[in-house]
Copies of this chain bind each other. A is one copy, B any other.
Amino acid sequence: MSTLTVKHCLEIPLASLDDNKGDADRIIASLKERTGVSLIEFPLDIVKTVPSVIHSCNGTLTITVLSDGDRLRTVSIEAGDTTNSHFGLAVDMGTTVVAAELIDLNTERSIASAGETNEQVEYGEDLLTRLHYAGQGGVFKLQDALVDTINKLIGEVCTAARIDPFQITAISAAGNTTMTHLLLGIDPSPIRREPYTPVINHVPILRAEELGLKVAPQAPVYVFPSVGSYLGGDLVAGALAAGIVESDDVSLLLDIGTNGEMILGNKDWLLAGAGAAGPALEGGVVECAMRAKPDAIDRVKIDMDTFEPSYSVIGNEPPVGFCGSGLIDVIAQLYLTGLLDSTGRFLLDKKTARWQRINDSMAFILAYGDKTGSHKPIYITEKDIQNVLRTKAAMVAALTLLLDSVGLLITDIQHIYTAGSFGIHLSVDSATAIGLYPRLPSDRFISLGNGSLRGAREVLLNAEKIRDAENLADSITYVELNVHPGFMGIFRSAKYI
């Protein structure tokens, strides 16, 4: 097991009149001797740095390499012994938020992390708008926005860790199929048109410089493979982190984000599908919903007798909205307190001052305007709830069909890994109460946190995981559920709590 890039400190014999070898040739010969690998790739850009490094190194230099099949690819050379400073960057390229983690590859510790809004939002809040924009010639603007976002994160984590960005010699990134295409500067819009074909699933290991990432120019950039248009490298990374393929037990990986995506299987088989119900659980569709960040209500409880809600807010400030976990909590609480029926309609005969008509729709007020940071009330409407139940129904239909196709029942699922920004904060009890999560004992649920970022980190720490990830992606049978004849039937009947 070795990290994605490896550093070797070499003693380079001084040039002499008897030795006609070039400086670069002597470095390569020394590396061959050290590693026993006879094929060394030494890119032109590295050759160009040889004179200054040789001049200042006093016979000792450090070479960073990537193992690639039968050869080593040179990533950087530095004067002196710099083996103590060895850093990699894990990146989760989310549609809404891009997250990065700086890893000390010597200690295997995360030494800084950061998250930023994906600058692509300037060109569209949701994925569909951006896909449309890409198809209209906006690919390079979208690529620049994503790369700028990652560079901003690189700056932040490097400042926090007090290192130079050029000391980062390895990057591992995961994102959905669209983000992966856009990182590469490739138009992803064909993935939303029949026959829904990506340009590329298995991405070659790239160099930071090719993408405009401001780290060591030749740093390898590993991008997790997609499985198809609707199943991206973020899920593959999550499945890798969950270790689904390492066990006989049947596991389910659930990522409820822009789409409800899932991978079901074990070491012998893997199925995947997505319940594409639109971004109901993210901001925009549900009126008062927002991302999980300071000022968002993330937990809600409603009193059984008084119907008065209580809540907690991220950062303990007056709230301005609720995040996904708050949304699921409030629906579950409304249902459990008898304020909501199983079809998702309010039971208005239950007396509470919190029923109010807002914009032609009935709403339950979670926080009055005098308690909020925006001085506007925070509430949920029946329409909001219908949107969530559609997402839930799509998830249930997808999972039911996947289980059906292998003759398994929900109870056969031993482990449920939840991933995605939504899954981090979600209350398992609330999610199972409304049926968004399958009704299984809570000890079967494991939150991966940001599974995409975790998978990316694993590759940085163990280069062999690249092969595992590529094989994992190849082993997945993607079931196109939206066109499945049974989908709509199950979907309709699952729209109830």
Contact = CB atoms under 8 A, between A and B. Distances in A.
B195 A17 contact: yes
A438 interface: no
Contact of A204 (B41, B51, B483): B41
A186 B51 CA distance: 9
B202 A25 contact: yes
Interface centre among A16, A202, A228, by most chain B C-beta atoms within 10 angstroms, is A202
Interface in A172-225: 184-187, 190, 194-204, 206, 210
Contacts of A21: 197, 201
B50 A195 contact: no
Nearest to A185: B48
A444 interface: no
Nearest to A55: B190
A409 interface: no
Contacts of A204: 41-44, 47
Contact of A51 (B24, B187, B229, B478): B187
In the complex, the count of this chain's copies comes to: 2
Q: Which range contains the number of A residues in contact with the other chain?
A: 35 or more
A197 B70 contact: no
A22 B210 contact: no
A227 interface: yes
Contact of A196 (B17, B47, B48, B185): B17
Interface in A103-121: none
Interface in A40-59: 41-44, 47-48, 50-51
A15 interface: yes
Given A47-B199, A186-B51, A200-B47, A20 B227 contact: yes
Nearest to A25: B201
Interface of A: 15-25, 28, 39, 41-44, 47-48, 50-51, 69-71, 184-187, 190, 194-204, 206, 210, 226-229, 231, 478, 480, 483
